[in-house]
Amino acid sequence: MVRPLAPEAAVGIVGAGTMGAGIAQVALQAGHPVILVDRDPAIVERARAGIEARLRRLVDKGRLAGDAACDALARLRPAATAADLAGCALVVEAVIEELATKRALFAEVERHVTDDAILASNTSSIPITAIAAGLRRPERFLGMHFFNPAPVMKLVEVISGLLTGADVAETVVATAVAWGKVAARARSTPGFIVNRVARPFYGEALRLLAEGAADAATIDAILRDCGGFRMGPFELTDLIGQDVNAAVTRSVHDAMFQDPRYRPSLLQEEMVEAGRLGRKSGIGFFDYREGAVPAVAAEEPSASMPGSIVVEGDPGPLAPLVLAALEAGVTVERDALGRGVISIAGAQLAMSDGRPAAERALEDDMPTALVDLCLDFAATPRLAVAFSPDMDDARRDAIAGFLQIGGRRVSVVRDLPGLVVLRTVAMLANEAADAVHFGVAAADDIDAAMVAGVNYPQGPLALAKSVGLSRIAGTIGHLGRIYGEDRYRLSPELHRARLARALDVRSAETGPR
């Protein structure tokens, strides 16, 4: 069994900025002696003071014993040169994201450390193999990508380059876990796990905004309330910085040879050019300046609930809405032979499968409303809905009244394929499946990374299974058919998983053949 580094093993951190200081604190709290190296003594002293202040806050909150905080600070040794790293078992670099700088730094570090010392970069985007190319022993080099703030965020991506030794990667995984982190193994590819798999969360939202699906505040509210995401994509990119988020997108797009799946947004580029960078500039998609009126999501006015509805067949995910209507006094008739829709005032209501409401209305010869995906239809405070263009005001009001039962807010979005949450979740799952297909990481590591690294409600692959692989794959198929773009191609891994699931269901129903 591979063991983590012993607590007495010294850890070197090169770069005493925000990330370096945070990583140093993590190692200190795990019991290691830490050598914190930076050429500028003032930066090292500022980092030491910041670590001390954060440890004291933990003590004040009762989350760390006073003696433990003192002991941790006593194990911190400031340094100015790579020669001071001679006795370190692990050296983690956290300097500027520039390949030449990192290569030169590790060439210098390698001259001073022992042959069995592990070398790691905290890079978020530079290929691990490229950084290791000039090393005498590239097999002991890998990525150890922490997320900011490092003492708080649970995820560490452990990235193996082409020549990284398996035992080295396993030692770092075990060490990260011993430090209280969630360690996700990955192969060095553009964006690693999180920055690659998360691209659709931003990219589809930006495209939905450009297509007029809804305004930014409404899209954010739908993804928070219905999709379970902690922050909407527009408030999140405002927090990250539109320039930073756009730069990561461009980097992944270029590194993936301009694959349209990662194409940057013209809308976001325009925001950057206008200086609307988000919180740091005072205005982005939202206005953070003093006196600004907060943006609010668009919602349908209160409407009367219908007196009766007809449930045709199995309503599937919409069953909690039917139950709520029944409890509210709505008369519910059932037609066991129907096609899985709810009939209200001569119109049909169903959950989106990726097709626009207008297409469903033509196929079924009936005005159609489609509800967007919700992770929990029983508890959601909001529903998003799109109407076919033949829906009149009376039927629209009746459907809105039904959806508002129990105090739910209703936001209407433009009738686009996949709507908002379903489209976003489908593309996240597709991207995660492609990462599995090409051996970037295992499914469990991807799901763990997206939950621990960016606070997703579930990992995208686990979420795809809970929503239904056929619905997810079908949604991507409809997106590809309607938009006619390679951006919406179905991952072979998702296609394989859907077929495997269908075969399992058939075997369970019919027995082995």
Residues 37 and 174 in one domain: yes
pLDDT at 504 over 90: no
Q: 400 phi and psi, to 5 degrees?
A: -60, -40
Show which of 412, 435, 464 is a domain's final residue: 412
Residues 167-182: what's their mean pLDDT? 98
pLDDT of residue 213: 98
Structure tokens at 463: 């979420």
For residue 339, what is the domain's CATH number?
3.30.750.190
Do 181 and 201 have their domain in common? no
The pLDDT assigned to 286 comes to: 98
Is 348 a residue whose pLDDT tops 90? yes
Average pLDDT over residues 318-337: 95
List all residues 6 or more positions away from 462 whose beta carbon is below 8 Å from its beta carbon: 447
Which whole number is the average pLDDT over 28-44? 96
Any idea which residue has 């799946």 for tokens? 261
Instruction: Report the C-alpha gap between 474 and 479 in whole angstroms.
Output: 9
Mean pLDDT of 445-473: 96
pLDDT of 336: 83
Total number of domains in the chain: 4
> Does a structural domain hold residue 400?
yes
Q: Which two tokens stand for residue 454?
A: 């960016």
Q: Does any domain span residue 6?
A: no
Residue 287 lies in a domain: no
Per-residue pLDDT at 513: 60
Return the pLDDT at 512. Answer: 59
Question: Strand ranges (DSSP E) for 66-189?
Answer: 76-79, 90-93, 118-121, 141-146, 155-160, 182-187
182 and 109 within one domain: yes
161 and 30 in a common domain: yes
Of the residues 164, 188, 212, the one at which a domain ends: 188
Which of left, alpha, beta for 123 (phi over 0: left; psi -120 to 50: alpha)?
A: beta
Report the C-alpha dihedral over residues 210, 479, 214, 224, rounded to 10 degrees: -120
Q: What are phi and psi of 207, to 5 degrees?
A: -70, -40
392 shares a domain with 325 = yes
Is the confidence at residue 133, as pLDDT, over 80? yes
State how far the Cα of 68 lies from the Cα of 88, in Å rounded to an integer. 22
Both 150 and 77 in a single domain?
yes
Distances (CA, A) of 285 to 87, 232, 278, 288: 49, 11, 7, 10
Shared domain check, 445 and 327: no
Residue 60 falls within a domain, yes or no?
yes
What gap in Å lies between CA 162 and CA 130, rounded to an integer? 9
pLDDT level of residue 511 (50, 70, 90 thresholds): low
- 88 & 229 share domain: no
| Mean pLDDT of the residues in the chain | 96
Phi-psi region of 116 (alpha: psi -120 to 50; beta: other; left: phi over 0): alpha
Residues 183 and 209 in one domain: no
The last residue of a domain, from among 188, 206, 223:
188
Cis omega before residue 367 (within 30°)?
no
Share of the chain above pLDDT 90, in %: 95
Does some domain include residue 298?
no
Q: Which residues are catalytic?
A: 124, 145, 157, 195
- Would the pLDDT of 500 be above 90? no
Token readout for 495 is 């296609």
The predicted structure's pLDDT at residue 359: 98
Q: What number is the average pLDDT over the span 56-64?
A: 96
Instruction: Please indicate, yes or no, whether residues 53 and 149 belong to a single structural domain of this protein.
Output: yes
In a domain, 2, yes or no: no
CATH number at residue 179: 3.40.50.720
Q: What is the per-residue pLDDT for 415?
A: 98
**107 — pLDDT class (breaks 50, 70, 90):** very high
* C-alpha–C-alpha distance, residues 245 and 509, integer Å: 48
Average pLDDT over residues 445-456: 97
Tell me how long the chain is: 513
13, two tokens:
């951190």
Tell me the pLDDT tens digit for each residue of 259-298: 999 999 999 999 999 999 999 999 999 999 999 999 999 9
Q: Spell out the SS3 assignment of 254-315.
A: HHCCCCHHHCCCHHHHHHHHCCCCEHHHCECCCECCCCCCCCCCCCCCCCCCCCEEEEECCC
Is 1's pLDDT higher than 70?
yes
- 323-327, 334-338, 500-504, 509-513: least confidently modelled range: 509-513
In angstroms, the first-to-last Cα distance of the chain is: 42
How many Cβ atoms from other residues are within 10 Å of residue 1's Cβ?
A: 4
| Dist CA 345 CA 330 (whole Å) | 13
Range of the domain at 249: 196-281
- How far apart CA 118 and CA 409 sit, in angstroms, is 54
Q: What is the CATH number of the domain that holds 503?
A: 1.10.1040.50
Tell me which of 279-293, 328-342, 404-418, 481-495 is least confident: 328-342
Query: What pLDDT, on the 0 to 100 scale, is given for residue 338?
Result: 81
Please report the pLDDT score of residue 321 as a whole number: 98
Tell me, yes or no, whether 155 and 31 share the same domain.
yes
In a domain, 290, yes or no: no
